[in-house]
Amino acid sequence: MTVVSIFKLALFFTLTSTLVTISLQQEQPLLLNSAEQDSVYQVLSSINSATNWRTLFPDDLCSYPPHGVVCDYFTDPTTKNVTVHVTELSFGYVSDFTPNPSCSPNSTFSPLLFTSFKHLRKLFFYQCFTQTQAFVPVIPTTFGSSLEELVFINNPAFVGPLSGITGNFTSLRRLVLSGNGIHGAIPNAIGDLANIEEITLSRNKLSGKVSVNLSKLKKLKILDLSGNGFHGNVPSSVGNLTHLLKLDLSSNGFSGKIPESLSNLQALDFLDLSFNRFGNFGVPLFLAAMPRLKEVHLSGNLLGGEVPEIWGNLGGILGIGFSNMGLVGEIPASMGLHLRNLCYLGLDNNKLNGKVPEEFGFLEFVNEINLENNNLSGKLPFSANFTAKVGEKLRLKGNPELCVDEKLSHRESVGELKKCSKPDIPNPVLFIGVSHSGLLSSSSPFLVLLLFWGLWILLA
């Protein structure tokens, strides 16, 4: 065997050994480091101590995790070493499609959540803190640079100021804190979340004026502050959120005038400002310049004035809530002409008068019309098919001068309306003429006397 042959053989064995080693390394999965694995066990025990999580999931929690625990691979840019870390933690059973680890009534909030998971992107709690109070922890400034979603839904015992939650979340896209015990004002730090796409703070105990500058939140698509105790004016900077799709400020104490700057929200399809204390400035006319609107709700604000003629460019609207607004005048027939996709119309508890527009009867997709407690009058112009289609969602009571045709009076939805009275038929005009039989006809003694008087003149 020559030297060259020996060299080739040695090279072959070296390459083969290297390939086998690489293959074995690839087949062996990367494991979560023991400290991070132990932290996951402790967090799971804090939300449900009755379950022995170490026994139930004894293997690597990235390879064989419970639902709600998600891992990902990371490569060190310097050493090129690959490691695996926890990136998502979701707790609280939502449905069979998202069977996260269930929480017990005495769940506690583990501080390890904000110290042991440096690569965490999503933190989710649903109905976990319902009885035993869990206080908002102090979040270290070193945590949160990778967090993209922070979601707490229906945790009434999770209490503390909102300022305690907003940390160094420079990558945060979703902040959803709904139905919790969060209190206090909105901190100015919210205005610095440049990558945020959703802020939902509904159904908490937040209060004060919304003075934070929202102009930097250029990516924001959803802003929901409903169901809190905010007061004062709506900041005009909301009008700078030009990518906003949903704006819900309902059930607060906002007052003053609805800002004209909202007309800049050309992408908006859902607007709910209902049940606040906006002043008597009428329905905002700038709604006519928001053609992508699908729903607009202003109920419970005594805006006053008439329902304006603004519907020509709003044919995409599906729902209108204008209840209890102090509206006067007649209902514009143009609503029935232009709002051909309308499904819901609420004009109840106002001071509207006149007739119900017959054009409403051509609304093909409508499934609820509420006109209760107004001063509407005249005959209801709807057909039997239309009243049957809308059914009990056709609400008309509280309009004493509104009546219904007798053939519709048996319908449950209109049964409380009075029947329209039949028009009086006037007595026919009495006349003298020749009947088909050629006989002279008369119908009163006066005409008989008139006939004899005429004959006497002719014969005289």
pLDDT tens sequence across 204-249: 999 999 988 888 899 999 999 999 999 999 999 999 999 999 999 9
Query: Which ranges of 299-398 would DSSP assign to H, the alpha helix?
Result: 334-338, 384-390
Give the per-residue pLDDT at 443.
Answer: 44
Alpha helix ranges (H) inside 264-408: 334-338, 384-390
In this prediction, residue 280 carries a pLDDT of 96
Containing H/E element for 99? none
Residue-range domains of the chain with CATH = 279-421 (3.80.10.10)
Contact between 125 and 92 under an 8 Å Cβ cutoff? The reply is yes
Among candidates 112, 160, 159, which has minimal Cα distance to 140?
112
Q: Which tokens in the block code for residue 151?
A: 């979601």
Listed as ranges, residues in the chain with pLDDT below 70 are 1-28, 167, 409-413, 415, 423-460
Phi first, then psi, for residue 106 (nearest 5°) are: -105, 30
Predicted confidence at residue 239, as pLDDT, reads: 94
